[in-house]
Structure 1
């Protein structure tokens, strides 16, 4: 990803001073050289803090005491952006941030006020890196370190602070803590291109499909466990329907599907009369059947008459309410007639005697409305409710009473008949039983359909299995582990090409970047050794430098790598000059030959960095913070230096410290 540091900006607490800006060249090795305690080691924490770090690691006392805001200007494919974050004071960090975006930021604001927060900036950085919104767990709950990749996770590849750059036990930034180590292990296949956003989407879909498949399979298993029971129940219901005369007796054996089909017909049938043979029909049963038919007919007539009676009563009530409303309006508007009678031409207002047109107009409007109401009332008064309405109302009321009496009489005769005839009682019980059977049959058939071999549930399980197999096949074709091994072979080969140009004991021994252990393994002729098992600070520095540079070379070959194209190294020469500022014309040791060898070793490291940066043609930026002066690294192609921080020149200008 094209993402480089254009500059670092510090804003003083004292408003009399202007911000301090450190400008870097893009696509170069930028060296800040200086003496101890000048603020070099604060550069990495400042950049990290402005990129959304959860804690502020910027050194306290001078830097945080005299600076109110810290900022960086970054160059991206979408233009330049100024990211500034307020000094947190007594807190571990602050959420207050300032964001400025432009094609080219030519002027730095002299004072800042919050216009965004750290969460929004981290979302912006995630979008710039085009990171997937899916997590590594495939959507399963409680993912932990399997959470989605974030821009903050990529800091491991962009910073080599003083305690890491030549550390035999720690290869990447912040991986000395368990949390960062586990997250880096998880995202390594992603940044190597072995896992792509498309593959993560497929894995997410596969896990979702598997979860749904497991649930459907459980449902189907639960249903099939009662297969014997539900089949017996189906046969029982079929036999019961035959006993009730709802289904004819069949000579041949019927299948499960045929039973369901015949029972379906029972549900859809509207004439649920019992198919009783003629030999069993007695006079009592004939009479009972006749009474039940009459009861149904009278019930339908009574329902129709009651509905008509309710409508007619509502009509009568509506007429009465309308007349009452007109009466209220007339009573309220009668006052206008009295007021008009007391109004004269000289004093129109009958209340105060004033001469005004508005009062007269309003009275006229009220009088006109009264006339309209009177007219409506008069018209309605002349319209009488037709006599036919009252006659019809009386007829319907009488019919309701008669039908109610007929229904009551039928029911009395039925009760008397069933009381006299045992056969009639049994017939009535059978009818009630049939009604209950029909009521329960429909819901029962739904269950039987779901449990069939061609049911919807079985079809869902089959479809989900096919989908899961297809996704598994697609993921196998991609072969994440094979893609990861190919990427690591390329990185190891690139590092192997750099090692012979560095100060290392066995430059020709192949190395292997171990992403699970987050370290380097040196493959010797007799044995393989991890970085922590190899001695000498020069070896540790060389392996760190070769692997980090080869990683960035690999990232730049990827079409959509999310890793920012910059690397900041703090004190890479410390293994050679742990305490002294180095210059070819300064005598710092008794044996100048040893010192010359150390200077040459440091120069080799800068030459390798310069060659790598030049080979990437401006797409990679390095920032090196070191004691070594320009006499050590000067004149190397691709390497540029900022004014050295010596003789009072520091990160924080000395005049800022003069304030009270």
Structure 2
């Protein structure tokens, strides 16, 4: 993707001050030279932040304290872009952005308010990069976060080499030191290398959809074949059943040599014959009416049974009481007989009022008193006997009434049960008739479905025809896209990149530069093969200068390849390297020429490190020249112009070294 940084612009919080601009050349290697703590290392996070990063990595301190808006001006083909993002203050980031686009745009003097958010800006960058709108997932129901659609931001991993990455043995790419970014980078790498493209992603999705549909169709065909196979076994029974139901008019009995098609010839007429068959009309709701009436009778039956039981229990109690009262009456009658002499008055009339005791001679009237008591007892017994006679008479009447009621209830119960028996028989007939009709319709339904299955599974059946069409389309699409073709393209790309890495390693004076070096996509690092055949990963190779050399070689070789992809190149065509010379550039040479010790400088110039530092810029120059300035390189360095100034295609940014008084944040902003 043609995408080059023309300017970095900082807008001060104090709007009365001038904005700060850093201008870059889009056709040369831009070298921004400066002392430590002057803001060089903020360039990468500023560009990243303006391009929609999820978090603001711009260093806290004066840069964020005095800046209100960070902005970049970009040339993308014939289009200019202006992207500004507000300083997030106490937040991790802010989505407030100002965006402008056109053939030629004016950079605003002051930004008063946002006109976009990061989501809108990133979506527009995705459109400009012509990134696929499809995701990488094979299963939408189980899509992983890193399998989402590619984003412009994902490809910035190939554009930045900050100071902690440029010579890091464990991390080769920007932000690949976090799992989230590693997984996403592994996913988009084939797309970045052109092994898959927008069109191939569409083909992959189409093939996956067809394969899923083919599985469904084949599963459906298998199920129908199973049903049909079972039907073939039962075909004779089904045919005879159709004869019994009267659904086959004038059809012959099957013979032993009949085949499936012989049965089908007659069975296929069943649906039409059914429409011509008349069934006895059943009133709508007749079954429910009968059932409801039977239910009411059964309820009545239960109530009568309970009533009979209650009256029987009462009758039993009364008969028991009647029997008990008769026993009492007999006891009373016995006592009355014994007291007859008292009741007759004979004993009272013949007994003297007083008498003398024959034993002691004492005079007493006790005999007369005792006889009086017996007379009272006899009267009580007579009264109770009369009451028992009256009670028994009433009880006998009640028993007679109850017995009559029980008899009537039993007769009523018998009538209800007889009616229930008759209704049950009638309902059973109705149910049998309904069941027969239901069986006929179920049977005909099965016949119709089996006939459909038979038709679908025939050579010219619609289901087989659909399967054939899907298989044909899959065959055609598989020639245009396959995992094998993707892997082949990937291997060709990696081979080309490996060869280019060796070329850059030679320029950068990497030890054993001729050893084959392979980009390992799963590990996101480099794998180096020694002459003995041993394979070592980057972290197993010693020396910081070697690590730096491998990093630069890999990034330059990758961009060499990206530029050959033309319209399928989704990687922005710029790279920013932060202090690649850090591995061997002595602090004593990093200051201004006026501060340098001439003996120390001469010593450095005569050392191998001097040539190695110079080789870094030679590699950048070669890349720029070989690719006809199609990609932009920005180098943030301590190394002064005297080291790289005589190399072609170099642009000294600002034509002066950044110092404490001439840094990213102007001194007037601070004062």
TM-score (norm 1): 0.72
Contact between 2:268 and 2:451, CA under 8 Å: does it hold in 1?
Answer: no
Residue of structure 2 in register with 1:61 after alignment = 61
Contact between 1:501 and 1:604, CA under 8 Å: does it hold in 2?
Answer: yes
Among 631, 641, 649, the alignment partner of 2:642 is 631
Q: Where does 1:111-130 land on structure 2 (aligned, <5 Å)?
A: 111-130=111-130
1:84 aligns with 2:62: no
Residue of structure 2 in register with 1:572 after alignment = 580
Aligned counterparts of 1:211 and 1:450: Cα–Cα separation in 2: 24
TM superposition outliers: structure 1 runs of 4+ over 6 Å = 428-434
SS of the residue corresponding to residue 559 of structure 1 reads helix
Contact between 2:11 and 2:19, CA under 8 Å: does it hold in 1?
Answer: yes
1:262 aligns with 2:266: yes
Residue 162 of structure 1, CA deviation: 0.1
Contact between 1:267 and 1:438, CA under 8 Å: does it hold in 2?
Answer: no
SS of the residue corresponding to residue 521 of structure 1 reads strand
Residue of structure 2 in register with 1:108 after alignment = 108
Residue of structure 1 in register with 2:512 after alignment = 506
Task: List per-residue Cα deviations over 1:322-351 (Å, max 9, x = no partner).
Answer: xxxxxxxxxxxxxxxxxxxxxxxxxxxxxx
1:622 aligns with 2:633: yes
Residue of structure 2 in register with 1:173 after alignment = 174
Contact between 1:138 and 1:208, CA under 8 Å: does it hold in 2?
Answer: no
Residue 595 of structure 1, CA deviation: 5.2
Residue 645 of structure 1, CA deviation: 0.9
Q: Where does 1:414-563 land on structure 2 (aligned, <5 Å)?
A: 436=438, 439-452=441-454, 453-454=457-458, 455-476=461-482, 479-526=485-532, 527-560=534-567, 561-563=569-571
Aligned counterparts of 1:271 and 1:81: Cα–Cα separation in 2: 75
Aligned counterparts of 2:79 and 2:210: Cα–Cα separation in 1: 41
Aligned counterparts of 1:583 and 1:539: Cα–Cα separation in 2: 28
Task: List per-residue Cα deviations over 1:302-329 (Å, max 9, x = no partner).
Answer: xxxxxxxxxxxxxxxxxxxxxxxxxxxx
What is the count of residue pairs matched by the alignment? 514
Aligned-pair Cα RMSD in Å: 3.1
Among 604, 620, 631, the alignment partner of 2:615 is 604
Q: Where does 1:130-209 land on structure 2 (aligned, <5 Å)?
A: 130-144=130-144, 145-209=146-210
Aligned counterparts of 1:129 and 1:193: Cα–Cα separation in 2: 14
Aligned counterparts of 2:18 and 2:181: Cα–Cα separation in 1: 38
Residue 589 of structure 1, CA deviation: 7.9
Deviates further, 261-270 or 24-33: 261-270
Contact between 2:82 and 2:107, CA under 8 Å: does it hold in 1?
Answer: no
SS of the residue corresponding to residue 512 of structure 1 reads strand
Contact between 1:260 and 1:445, CA under 8 Å: does it hold in 2?
Answer: no
Residue 469 of structure 1, CA deviation: 4.5
Contact between 1:134 and 1:200, CA under 8 Å: does it hold in 2?
Answer: yes
Alpha-carbon spacing, 1:505–1:431, altered in 2? closer, same or farther (3 Å): closer
TM-score (norm 2): 0.70
1:646 aligns with 2:659: yes
Aligned counterparts of 1:578 and 1:646: Cα–Cα separation in 2: 18
Contact between 1:174 and 1:180, CA under 8 Å: does it hold in 2?
Answer: yes
Contact between 1:46 and 1:58, CA under 8 Å: does it hold in 2?
Answer: yes
Contact between 1:584 and 1:632, CA under 8 Å: does it hold in 2?
Answer: no
Task: List per-residue Cα deviations over 1:553-593 (Å, max 9, x = no partner).
Answer: 11111122111110000011111226451566722885843
Contact between 1:522 and 1:528, CA under 8 Å: does it hold in 2?
Answer: yes
Residue of structure 1 in register with 2:3 after alignment = 3
Aligned counterparts of 1:255 and 1:18: Cα–Cα separation in 2: 97
Residue 631 of structure 1, CA deviation: 1.6
Task: List per-residue Cα deviations over 1:82-104 (Å, max 9, x = no partner).
Answer: 01111111111111111111212
Which blocks of at least 5 consecutive residues in structure 2 are unaligned?
284-421, 423-427
Aligned counterparts of 1:59 and 1:86: Cα–Cα separation in 2: 15
**Higher radius of gyration, 1 or 2:** 2
Residue of structure 1 in register with 2:244 after alignment = 243
Contact between 2:247 and 2:273, CA under 8 Å: does it hold in 1?
Answer: no
Contact between 1:139 and 1:204, CA under 8 Å: does it hold in 2?
Answer: no
Residue 436 of structure 1, CA deviation: 4.1
Aligned counterparts of 1:563 and 1:244: Cα–Cα separation in 2: 76
SS of the residue corresponding to residue 175 of structure 2 reads coil
SS of the residue corresponding to residue 451 of structure 1 reads helix
Residue of structure 2 in register with 1:302 after alignment = none
Aligned counterparts of 1:156 and 1:620: Cα–Cα separation in 2: 16
Contact between 1:170 and 1:176, CA under 8 Å: does it hold in 2?
Answer: yes
1:655 aligns with 2:668: yes
Aligned counterparts of 2:45 and 2:81: Cα–Cα separation in 1: 19
Task: List per-residue Cα deviations over 1:9-55 (Å, max 9, x = no partner).
Answer: 11111121232111111121111111111111000001001111101
Deviates further, 580-589 or 166-175: 580-589
